[in-house]
Amino acid sequence: MRHLVNFGLLFSFSALAATGTLAYFQPFSLSVTNIHVIAGFVTLVLVILHIVARVPYFRNRIAKGKHRVSARLQVLMIGIACGFLVYTAIYNLPPASWLIENSYEHKNSAQIVRSSNLVGFDQPAPHRKWIVRKSQDGNGSGLSINLSFREDLNPMPSIAVWAESTIGSMIETLFLEQSLAYSEVPLWEDYRTQRSHILPLWRHRYTLFSGISPSGEIDAVSGATEAHRFALDPYLQSGKGNEFVLCVEINVPKDSSDDFPDPLLGQPSLLYTCLVDVDRDDPYYLFELTGHGGGDAISTGNVQYDLEMIGSAKKMKDLFLVKLEKSID
């Protein structure tokens, strides 16, 4: 049993060390996180078994041995050192902060996109995504967004969903494809591609939030103002005449055509929008095709409205629907 526990600890700790290193130097990966959590649980169980088997040793060492005073002092010193490291990690103090500041997540925080903790996702079917945005305090309305695609669509498109004001300023990103969320140059169909080439309309609007343009330059005019906040909750309050626009941008790779011959990018991204009137009686809204992200949209973020040249890309969508979940007073 002792040898089994020892070898188990060797393998589980190796998995912890490997996945921890990957998480430190690489963008977030759900598979790496899953392995890290499982390895951590296995290590915890094995450590408990190891301690239980070694209780007589610890008892003799600390309580009865001739070196019990020095042993107790060693335990105390180790406990203080571990407590100090935990304290510095919680409050972001040196030396823990020195280590964190060199991690991938910290160095690339401006380009990492995470939705609000008020947003939930589900994929009840391979060609359907469901996005739910709850209100912060329960007094406002919520959103349920259903994105259904053709069942024969393969591969599935990359997707961004966001809310913006009626004058076109981003309020909040509700959903961004995980493969695009951690780098400005993600892998897209095994090719490194600028995020602004895949979903250019969303990316240019995101500059207002991140303060970093798609080219990597600092945008001096970005950030919240007295008239604009990066939170959807004020817009979800009823009885105040609130309106906002929900946007869905989609793009599938390798759908080239005569007008868009690029073998990877193919046809440009498509933008679907709907205007949400929080005080309207009917809670359902259909997204309508509005424009695309081709032409100079990649460099400027301006929506292109000439849809005549778009071919098969128009057929990806089955039904894009949003329901405004109104609060009960």
Least confident of 63-67, 90-94, 224-228: 224-228
Same domain, 52 and 150: no
First to last CA, the chain: 62
| Cα 106 to the center of its chain, rounded Å | 15
Judged by DSSP in three states, 284 sits in strand
The domain boundary, picked from 107, 130, 149, lies at 107
Q: Are residues 175 and 36 in the same domain?
A: no
CA–CA gap between residue 30 and residue 33 (Å, rounded): 5
User: Please, which pLDDT band fits residue 290 given cuts at 50, 70 and 90?
Assistant: very high
Same domain for 114 and 214 = yes
Helical pair 30-53 and 2-25, crossing angle rounded to 10 deg:
150
Q: Per-residue pLDDT averaged across 203-217, rounded? A: 81
Closest CA to 11 of 37, 53, 43: 43
pLDDT of residue 224: 46
The answer on 245 and 96 residing in a single domain is: no
Please state, for a pLDDT cut of 70, what percent of the chain lies above it.
92
The torsion angles phi and psi of 55, rounded to 5 degrees, stand at: -55, -45
Return the C-alpha torsion angle 166, 170, 172, 178, nearest 10: 130
Q: Are residues 207 and 310 in the same domain?
A: yes
Mean pLDDT of 241-250: 96
pLDDT tens, residue by residue, 16-29: 999 999 999 888 78
Domain hosting residue 293, numbered range: 109-325
Length of the chain: 329
- Paired tokens of 271: 């933008």
pLDDT at 74: 84
